[in-house]
Amino acid sequence: MKELLGVTKALSDRNRIKIIKVLQHRPMFVSEIQDALGIAQPTVSKHLKVLEEAGLVTSHRQGTWVRYYITEGARNPYTASILGNLRHWLEKDPEILKLYETLPPFREPRRRVSLT
């Protein structure tokens, strides 16, 4: 039961559901999620931490950048089932459709140029 409660609690916040929906669209950096949702960077990071602890998202560091992805839900069966359903849920919701319109184009992290 603990695993199910962890997943459902993680999804009990509207911004966390929005984060899941944009990450289902494509992997994103924190700054891209921040721009899309219009919330502060520390708030995005806190939401991502909750989602990561629940096994819903994972991250991959690229230099100083961290890109977030939806997991496959291998950690527990509830995660896999809920993520599978969330792919179809809310797709026609006006709030989610508006969010998709604001998504920035895909970008690679900026590379530091050495001046030496």
Q: What is the mean pLDDT of the chain?
A: 88
In order of their start, the domains of the chain are 2-101 (1.10.10.10)
- Which whole number is the average pLDDT over 58-67? 90
The yes-or-no verdict on residue 52 having pLDDT over 60 is: yes
Distance, CA of 54 to CA of 76 (rounded, Å): 9
What's the predicted TM-score (pTM) here? Answer: 0.85
Q: Are 12 and 56 in contact (CB under 8 A)?
A: no
pLDDT band for 108, please (50, 70, 90 cuts): low
* pLDDT tens digits, one per residue of 74-83: 778 888 889 9
The yes-or-no verdict on residue 109 having pLDDT over 60 is: no
Residue-wise DSSP of 81-95: HHHHHHTTTTTT-HH
- Which whole number is the average pLDDT over 80-98? 89
